[in-house]
Amino acid sequence: MARWMAHAGRPRKQLAHLAIRTRRWLPGGLRRRLNLDGVAATEDRTDVDSTAATTATTLLAGCTAAVLEGRAVAAVATVARTCGHALDIDREHCCGALDQHLGCTAERSLPVLSSVTSAVAINSGCLSQWQDALGATSVAGINAWLDALCATHSNRLVEKTLRVALHLPCTQQGQPKEVAAIRRLVARLPGVSLLEFPAQPGCCGAAGTYFLNQPEIAQSLANTLSAQARAMRPDVILSANGACRAQLAQALFDAGADIRVLHPAELLAEYLDEPTR
């Protein structure tokens, strides 16, 4: 499963989708180890086209775009369209992080960025990899990008009453600008009550491919975070890492908890009033 996600080959993507679709007939241990119920909560099979407008942004969705970031990609496209912002979705290039987790030495594939195009990494785990490869000033984090759009288009925000628990992935905790941006973004949304985990328990257990290599420890870590979340009773858990969202969604599914786990773009898309066509 990890190798399918780590490479962008079409057969591997199709196998990943097939595993998700047929998960109810798979042995329970395999279904749980692959986080198939959690991954199903992040996947979206809808093809999203790039949008056209005056300002261009390349969304670096990476090799996990088809599965772990499927719904997030669709939500980013919705946000961009609503705000009249051009979006070019790059699903092919890989930052190389999953290959490193797997001990592979394959070279990462890098996109070519023009001087007039900004780039945004959709996943906190990919951001540092992209910045290392392309330059820290060449690639922005998704939280900062969404927060800037939200600030500019605050007149489009509708009020919704939601209790939102903020999950900070391990990969994001070393990115203070991204942490500050996600907090600003949530604070801008009318009707949101921000809930803080009583103590961040550390890694959720996904950790790249750790959930495959050390499933018992990974599940224990996820269960700790799941128990904290259930005690808080949020409507939504927000996390900017696809693997973390799948891991948390699986633990909540196993516990029978009806709590949505969303990418920040998914939450913002719910608050933006799309223009009448």
pLDDT digits (tens, 9 = 90+) for 171-215: 787 789 999 999 999 999 999 999 988 766 568 877 777 777 777
What pLDDT shows up at residue 219? 84
CA distance 198 to 106: 40
What pLDDT shows up at residue 235? 97
- Tell me the CA distances in angstroms from 48 to 18, 51, 171, one per residue in order: 20, 9, 27
Q: Provide the 3-class DSSP secondary structure of residue 68.
A: coil
CA distance 257 to 251: 9
- Tell me the CA distances in angstroms from 227 to 93, 161, 204, one per residue in order: 36, 23, 12
Taking 50 as the pLDDT cut, the residues of the chain under it are 1-11, 25, 52-54, 277
What pLDDT shows up at residue 163? 97
Give Cα 221 distance to the centre of its chain: 19
Question: For residue 146, what are its two tokens?
Answer: 């969404």
